């Protein structure tokens, strides 16, 4: 059994900018956070570094970066790094897990173009590491073959956001001419057997039948296009004008949406800052009121002390006044009195009491001044509190007014996007039909058509393999606590799974996404159980789409009924836990918008905050220019 690859880091470098690096661990990796922070870009970049011809998305943040490094561990344990320019082209291979191109090291050239006859290309390097070099698959009903390239199995390792929620089969790209080879690649992964034994040549007496089969196939494709165009398709000459008007409307709508979203973002930011100010004021006001209360108690103590000292002073005064007079009890003159009252001591006590009273009164006046100052501060804080509370209410009112309009604009924008996609699809259908008609004219055959299915090759997996694979997916869904007690089957007509007799494509976006994820993870698990080759990792972009917040995320629209059921099932917790438990056998990279469960263990979690709180902004830093010392 081939263990597969383990990705360790993805790094973008460029002159004058700080490197942008995503560290990856074996097992489960979760990258989540705010929208537009580079999560989906990660999937695009990984695919690009594994030989994709599609250029990287033209986003503002990467304009200063000119190279990418992908560090990975090969199935045999060797640590290497792939290097490629952001503009595309060939690769360089270096030993070791690197995050910068090493100085003075030439590296090994790996060409981007697949060539089964040579070993100096990325596809052959990766396939050889997996033990799949030299495999061939039949690409059409006539037994013609193509050598397996890594790009044919890449969709089983990297699932982007568009594919995961698509209605088409997880094993098909949507290109009609590639259906056969894609189904046979799926069979190769699940059985380990290629099509080397298939005889590609045909006998001379059946060549005309073969040509007729090609004509039949083209006729079917042309008929399918005609059905899709409809009974009254739009005139071809009007499509360009419609497209121009639609693009202008989209640009206007997008500008309005952007302005409104920026206003909402600003208000949300101001609301958070205002709430923080109010909380700070309340904390300070509470401290002041507590201090004033304690000072008031101290003042009362001062008053009590003064009253006590005044009583002592008055008593002393009376005793002094009576000194030297006849005794009020016996009438004896002072010189004949047998008892003495120590007049000197009384005078001292009287004086000390008077002095202490003056001291306490002075301290009380100082305390009164301090309390008055603190009272002014408290009054000012109350005024500020009331001001910011009023502002917070204004912000809430403005947000309540703006958000419904934002939802309306988003709905309208999605309708326009759908109309544009329909228009482009119509143009593509016309062009595809023209190409097919040319090929049909070149292959026109006059002989009678052969019966369909006669002499055709078997394509895709057999029913037994399909059943065993479906059981693996079923086990995953039950482990993830998919609602109910799901029974999964594989439908050879759609090349997709059915859950409880319902095709995957018949569900809402969120349900389609989690079922697609189960399909791709199921392929990995099936290969591991049967000791078959697999890339060893799976990248899933937004598999838990159904857990989106419909009021906050207008990109995908409101939840459909089946998505509501799935969202309430608690599937997300079990989904993450299941992937984490497979850390010894596979690597998973999940790109999500929503937070993973707080209880998730044995996972490397990376958060992209989008500037909403402290931490990493996104895949690229907010400021790309490297700081310099003055």
Tens digit of pLDDT for each residue in 203-228? 444 567 777 788 888 888 888 888 88
**Whether residue 410 is found in the same domain as residue 473:** no
Alpha helix stretches (DSSP H) within 443-570: 463-479, 509-529, 561-567
Q: CA–CA separation, 567 vs 386, rounded Å? A: 41
| 367 assigned to some structural domain | yes
Q: Give the Cα separation of 28 and 74 in Å (integer).
A: 18
Q: 191 and 266: one domain?
A: no
On whether both 166 and 310 belong to a single domain, the answer is: no
Q: Is residue 149 part of a domain?
A: yes
Strand 6-13 to 145-147 pairing: unpaired
3-state secondary structure labels for all residues of 286-351: HHHHHHHHHHHHHHHHHHHHHHHHHHHHHHHHHHHHHCCCCCCCCCCCHHHCCCCCCHHHHHHHHH
Phi, psi of 581 (to 5 degrees): -70, -20
User: Looking at residue 485, what is its pLDDT?
Assistant: 92
pLDDT value of position 565: 64
Whether 391 and 247 map to the same domain: the answer is yes
- Mark which of 372, 401, 421 sits at the end of a domain: 421
Query: Is residue 84 a contact partner of residue 51, using CB atoms and an 8 Å limit?
Result: no
User: In 3-state terms, what secondary structure has residue 195?
Assistant: coil
Question: pLDDT value at position 280?
Answer: 92
Instruction: Determine whether 279 is exposed, middle or buried from the number of CB atoms within 10 Å of its CB (0-12, 13-18, 19+).
Output: exposed
Six-digit token string for 201: 């040549």
HEC readout, 389-433: HHHHHHHHHHHHHHHHHHHHHHHHHHHHHHHHHHHHHHHHHHHHH
The Cα–Cα gap between 538 and 583 comes to: 12
The verdict on 585 and 479 lying in the same domain is: yes
Tell me, yes or no, whether 449 lies in a domain. Answer: no
**Whole-angstrom distance, CA of residue 485 vs CA of residue 530:** 25
pLDDT for residue 56: 94
Q: With respect to residue 67, please indicate whether it lies within any of the assigned structural domains.
A: yes
| Residue 121 three-state SS | strand
> In sequence order, what are the residues at sequence separation of 6 or more whose Cβ sits closer than 8 angstroms to the Cβ of residue 359?
none
- Separation CA 349–CA 6 (nearest Å): 91
Report yes or no: 82 and 91 within 8 Å, Cβ to Cβ.
yes
pLDDT tens readout for residues 240-287: 788 888 888 888 888 887 888 888 888 889 889 999 999 999 999 889
Q: Which domain holds residue 590?
A: 6-198+457-608
Token pair belonging to 318: 């009376």
Which SS3 state, helix, strand or coil, does residue 561 take? helix
Which helix (DSSP H) or strand (DSSP E) does residue 360 occupy?
helix 343-442
Helices in 24-74 by DSSP H: which ranges? 39-49
The CA–CA distances, whole Å, from 275 to 200, 271, 390, 485, 497 equal 73, 6, 11, 46, 50
Residue 501, domain member (yes or no): yes
pLDDT of residue 567: 64
Q: Which residues have CB under 8 Å from 434's CB, separation 6+?
A: none
Same domain, residue pair 248 and 312 = yes
Tokens of 74: 């090969």
- Are residue 384 and residue 316 in the same domain, yes or no? yes
Q: Are residues 312 and 264 part of one domain?
A: yes
pTM of the model: 0.61
Q: What is the pLDDT at residue 45?
A: 97
Fill in the DSSP letter of residue 510: H
Residues of the chain scoring pLDDT < 50: 1, 203-205, 447-454, 549-554, 624-630
- Determine, yes or no, domain membership for 216: no
C-beta separation of 612 from 32 below 8 A: no
Q: How far apart are CA 169 and CA 352, in angstroms?
A: 101
Q: Is residue 178 part of a domain?
A: yes
Structure tokens belonging to residue 446: 């006059």
* The predicted structure's pLDDT at residue 559: 61
CA distances from 174 to 141, 163, 315, 417 (A): 18, 10, 109, 20
Please answer whether residues 571 and 480 qualify as being in contact, where contact means their C-beta atoms are separated by less than 8 angstroms: yes
CATH number of the domain encompassing residue 484: 3.40.50.300
- Alpha-helical regions (H) of 96-178: 122-130, 150-153, 161-164
Residue 205: inside a domain: no
Nearest-10 crossing angle of helices 463-479, 571-581: 110
Contacts of 428 by beta carbon, 8 Å cutoff, 6+ apart: none
Residues 469 and 571 in one domain: yes
Same domain as 295, residue 184: no
Same domain, 276 and 374: yes
The sign of the CA dihedral 163, 169, 173, 175 is negative
Q: Which two tokens stand for residue 5?
A: 């690859």
CATH number at residue 380: 1.10.287.1490
Task: Tell me how many domains the chain contains.
Answer: 2
Quickly count: other Cβ atoms within 10 Å of residue 559's Cβ. 20
- Which residue, among 549, 495, 545, has the nearest Cα to 523 in the 3D structure? 495
Are 247 and 371 in a shared domain? yes
Cross-strand partners of 457: none
Looking at 359, 394, 421, the residue that finishes a domain is: 421
| Residue 156 in tokens | 């089983």
């Amino acid at each position: 059994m081939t263990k597969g690859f383990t990705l360790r880091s993805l790094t973008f470098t460029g002159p004058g900018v700080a490197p942008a690096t995503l560290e990856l661990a074996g097992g489960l990796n979760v990258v989540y956070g705010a929208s537009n922070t580079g999560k989906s870009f990660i999937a695009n970049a990984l695919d690009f570094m594994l030989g994709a011809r599609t250029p990287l998305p033209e986003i503002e943040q990467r304009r200063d970066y000119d190279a990418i490094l992908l560090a990975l561990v090969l199935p045999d344990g060797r640590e290497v790094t792939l290097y490629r320019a952001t503009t595309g082209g060939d690769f360089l291979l270096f030993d070791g897990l690197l995050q910068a191109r090493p100085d003075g090291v030439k590296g090994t050239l790996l060409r981007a173009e697949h060539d089964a006859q040579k070993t100096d290309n990325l596809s052959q390097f990766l396939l050889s590491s997996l033990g799949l070099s030299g495999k061939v698959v039949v690409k059409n009903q006539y037994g013609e073959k193509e050598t397996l390239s890594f790009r044919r199995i890449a969709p089983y390792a990297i699932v982007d956001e568009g594919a995961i929620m698509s209605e088409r089969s997880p094993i098909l790209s949507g290109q009609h001419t590639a259906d056969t080879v894609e189904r046979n690649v799926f069979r190769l992964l699940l059985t380990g057997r290629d099509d080397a034994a298939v005889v590609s040549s045909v006998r001379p007496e059946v060549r005309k039948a073969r040509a007729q089969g090609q004509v039949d196939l083209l006729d079917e494709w042309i008929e399918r296009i005609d059905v899709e165009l409809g009974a009254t398709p739009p005139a071809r000459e009007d499509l360009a004008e419609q497209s121009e008007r639609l693009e202008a409307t989209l640009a206007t709508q997008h500008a309005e949406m952007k302005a409104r979203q920026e206003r909402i973002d600003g208000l949300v930011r101001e609301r958070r800052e205002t709430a923080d100010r109010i909380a700070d004021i309340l904390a300070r006001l509470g401290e002041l009121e507590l201090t004033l209360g304690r000072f008031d108690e101290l003042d009362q103590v001062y008053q009590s002390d003064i009253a006590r000292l005044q009583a002592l002073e008055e008593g002393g005064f009376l005793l002094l006044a009576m000194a030297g007079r006849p005794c009020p009890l016996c009438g004896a003159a002072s010189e004949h009195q047998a008892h003495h009252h120590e007049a000197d001591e009384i005078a001292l006590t009287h004086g000390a009491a008077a002095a202490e009273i003056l001291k306490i009164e002075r301290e009380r006046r100082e305390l009164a001044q301090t309390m008055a100052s603190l009272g002014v501060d408290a009054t000012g804080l109350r005024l500020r509190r009331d001001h910011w509370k009023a502002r917070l209410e204004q912000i809430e009112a403005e947000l309540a007014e703006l958000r419904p309009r934002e939802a309306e604009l988003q709905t309208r924008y999605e309708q326009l996007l759908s109309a544009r996609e329909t228009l482009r699809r119509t143009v593509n259908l016309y062009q595809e039909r023209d190409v097919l008609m040319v090929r049909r004219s070149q292959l026109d055959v006059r002989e009678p058509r052969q019966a369909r299915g006669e002499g055709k090759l078997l394509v895709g997996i057999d029913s037994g393999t399909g059943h065993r694979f479906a059981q693996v997916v079923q086990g995953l869904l039950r482990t993830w606590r998919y609602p109910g007690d799901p029974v999964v089957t594989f439908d050879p007509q759609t090349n997709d799974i059915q859950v409880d007799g319902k095709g995957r494509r018949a569900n809402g976006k969120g349900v389609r996404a989690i079922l697609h994820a189960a399909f791709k993870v199921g392929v990995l698990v099936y290969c591991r159980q049967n000791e078959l080759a697999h890339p060893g990792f799976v990248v899933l972009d937004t598999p838990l789409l159904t857990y989106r917040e419909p009021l906050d995320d207008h990109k995908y629209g409101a939840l459909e009924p089946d998505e509501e059921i799935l969202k309430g099932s608690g599937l997300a917790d079990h989904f993450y836990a299941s992937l984490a438990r497979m850390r010894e056998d596979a690597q998973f990279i999940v790109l999500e918008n929503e937070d993973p469960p707080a209880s998730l263990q044995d996972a490397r979690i990376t958060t992209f905050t989008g500037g909403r709180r402290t931490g990493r902004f996104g895949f690229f830093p907010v400021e790309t220019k490297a700081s310099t010392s003055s």
